[in-house]
Structure 1
Amino acid sequence: MIDPSIIQTGIQTKPLRVLIYGVPGCGKSTWAAAANNSLKTIFIPTEDGCDELDVAKFPKAKTWAEVLDYLAYLYEAEHDYKVVVLDSITATEQLIRNIVAKEYAAEENEPEITFEKIPWGKGYKRAAEKVQTLMNACDALRNKGMQTILIGHSGIKPFHDICSADQWDQYKLSCHEQIASPIIAWADCVFFVNYDRTAASVGEGFKKRTIGRDAGRRIMFTECRATHEAKCRVSRLELKEKEELNGRAFWERVCQKMNF
């Protein structure tokens, strides 16, 4: 018998789980570090890139075990951090591949084996299980009141539309599909960052060609389009489809709209 008192009504406010990915050098880590102006932030770096950021950070994690150790510390220890940033999920995938290959080699009594040579797709299945462990750890921190930001690189991959039978290229998170898909489904917000660029035709006849023009602005896309994956489940944030890449303004809005 279900107790009707467990039924929830109204909007439930929970810390955000954000994936922000984009082209190299566009300011993703700086955007994440700007959360520190509103909510005390700590980075878990798995690649170089955040040394110049004035924000708390663990030493660079060189193994999957170190990533889990840092997350466990944030869960078990007394602290006042409100945002954890994993920089980056793309580099973390390689740490996961390394440990999966090591574990498989030990089980099979192989002296050494690369991730790609693990047969029958078992490597990717095990990697997906590690990613689920990562998401579970972030959710445990969420239950303690911490926001999560995952930073990722982007890659250009072919997209096949079943409805129209058309195919085109699309910016996607630069991780294997079995790792990227559950992360994108799990995240409350998926933001794609790129420079504000347009294409223009110049010349005439055989000399006609297309050139790119850069407006000098960095744009954060918040909705899915044919060119990229993006989403935002939190309508209270009232985000436009294209937002200026301004981390300070975004996290101030989060605190204001969601009362953090």
Structure 2
Amino acid sequence: MGFQIKSGVIPKAQKVILYGVEGIGKTTFASQFPNPLFIDTEDSSLYLNVKRFDKPTSWTMLLQEVDFVKQTRPCRTLIIDTMDWGEDLAKKHLMAQNHWQAIDSTGYGTRYVALADEIGKLLNSLSEVIELGINVVITAHAWLRKKEEPDEMGAYDRYELKLEKKTAPLVKEWADMVLFANYKTTIITDDKTNSKKATGGQRVMYTTHRPSWDAKNRLGLQDELPFDYSQIAQAFEAATNIQTQQVTQTAETQDIPLPSVPEETPEDQGDPVLETAPAPEYKENIPAVIPQDVADLMKINQVTVEEVMQIIYQGGFMPKDTPIGNIPTDLWGYLATNWDKALGLLNSKIRK
């Protein structure tokens, strides 16, 4: 048999989870990865001079933005900021799709399983981004949870990803690197009075697992480092030294029209990215009666108001003479959560 045996380190794009306490600077840190492009779910990057998609207003929109990156490769690092807000979009998607009032443990946790399945779909899609040589950085908030141990350790506080219990393990296991950022407090003892005082507040990141937090890395990083990208830059670049193939792709080769992406800033020049056609300008005025999540999907996919009404009529959801103002809210929610089916109807029966 003609098997090949290779040796040595093989560079590859990295899957990074960056989580930490509120306000420590996760977004700024993420913006320093090579040629980043943000999917900003909570407007955290607005004060930074970075490339970003429009803020996703639905789970479907977020998935379409990831698909756009796979189709066009417009960056070296894709950043989802933050995962916990992205998880909220997935929850709203499932609630609208299944007419649930909440994501809870009803039915022996079947709703949490459905949520984990949606997050799994996103992670699978992001793995395909990795296969193209594009790094993926996912940021998340941290929260303290009480950890119960059956042995002599008893209970103690532990920092974890601010995600549901079935979601967090999926995200951690998916990643090559998990970095935890926190403020390090130093306790100073006064020799005269024997009193103790907390001081410092230095921002640090932890790169390896401890009972009080999750962290890991495969780059041989020190256990604790100042919270600054320069501390990992050399090791990260060495691990991801990939020559990305450049292929020109235009809107005609896409299944969906291209979302708009801001032009590259001068410091991005020289990074290997693909040339993409500009998104067609959406000129139609969408009535305020159409919810924002549906309106955003219409803009991305160049769907007119008349076409979305034809989807409703020809799909048999409402009589043909129904005014747009009389379309029920739950029907708009159904369209948003089943947007792929709506596009299928549009392209097969309406856009002939």
**In the alignment, which residue of structure 1 is the partner of 2:89?**
95
**In the alignment, which residue of structure 1 is the partner of 2:63?**
68
Tell me how far apart the structure 1 counterparts of residues 238 and 93 of structure 2 sit (CA, whole Å). 41
TM-score by length of 1: 0.84
**In the alignment, which residue of structure 1 is the partner of 2:178?**
190
**In the alignment, which residue of structure 2 is the partner of 1:31?**
29
**In the alignment, which residue of structure 2 is the partner of 1:108?**
none
Query: What stretches of structure 2 of length at least 5 have no aligned partner?
Result: 243-352
**In the alignment, which residue of structure 2 is the partner of 1:156?**
144
Tell me how far apart the structure 1 counterparts of residues 189 and 98 of structure 2 sit (CA, whole Å). 53
Work out whether residues 31 and 248 of structure 1, in 8 Å CA contact, stay in contact via their aligned partners in 2.
Answer: no
How many pairs does the alignment contain? 242
Query: What stretches of structure 1 of length at least 5 have no aligned partner?
Result: 106-111
Tell me how far apart the structure 2 counterparts of residues 210 and 187 of structure 1 sit (CA, whole Å). 39
- Can you list the C-alpha shifts for 1:163-186, whole angstroms capped at 9, x where unaligned? 545221111111111100111111
Work out whether residues 21 and 181 of structure 2, in 8 Å CA contact, stay in contact via their aligned partners in 1.
Answer: yes
- Can you list the C-alpha shifts for 1:143-195, whole angstroms capped at 9, x where unaligned? 10000100000000012234545221111111111100111111111110011
Among 120, 138, 143, the alignment partner of 2:126 is 138
Tell me how far apart the structure 2 counterparts of residues 6 and 67 of structure 1 sit (CA, whole Å). 39
**In the alignment, which residue of structure 2 is the partner of 1:50?**
45
Work out whether residues 188 and 234 of structure 1, in 8 Å CA contact, stay in contact via their aligned partners in 2.
Answer: no
Work out whether residues 101 and 118 of structure 1, in 8 Å CA contact, stay in contact via their aligned partners in 2.
Answer: no
1:224 to 2:214 alignment: no
Work out whether residues 128 and 178 of structure 1, in 8 Å CA contact, stay in contact via their aligned partners in 2.
Answer: yes
Quick check: 84-93 or 250-259, which moved more? Answer: 250-259
Tell me how far apart the structure 2 counterparts of residues 118 and 204 of structure 1 sit (CA, whole Å). 59
TM-score by length of 2: 0.63
Tell me how far apart the structure 2 counterparts of residues 69 and 93 of structure 1 sit (CA, whole Å). 15
**In the alignment, which residue of structure 1 is the partner of 2:280?**
none
Work out whether residues 13 and 239 of structure 2, in 8 Å CA contact, stay in contact via their aligned partners in 1.
Answer: no
Work out whether residues 224 and 230 of structure 1, in 8 Å CA contact, stay in contact via their aligned partners in 2.
Answer: yes
Higher relative contact order (CA 8 A, sep 6+): 1
Work out whether residues 12 and 239 of structure 2, in 8 Å CA contact, stay in contact via their aligned partners in 1.
Answer: no
Work out whether residues 18 and 187 of structure 1, in 8 Å CA contact, stay in contact via their aligned partners in 2.
Answer: yes
User: Which of the two has greater strand per residue?
Assistant: 1
**In the alignment, which residue of structure 2 is the partner of 1:109?**
none
Shift of 1:254: 1.3
1:128 to 2:116 alignment: yes
Work out whether residues 124 and 178 of structure 1, in 8 Å CA contact, stay in contact via their aligned partners in 2.
Answer: yes
Shift of 1:9: 4.0
- Aligned-residue CA RMSD (Å): 2.4
How many percent identity over aligned positions?
Answer: 23
* Structure exhibiting the larger radius of gyration computed from Cα positions: 2
Structure 1 residues 204 and 123: alpha-carbon distance in aligned structure 2, compared to 1, 3 A threshold: farther
**In the alignment, which residue of structure 2 is the partner of 1:179?**
167
Quick check: 46-55 or 160-169, which moved more? Answer: 160-169
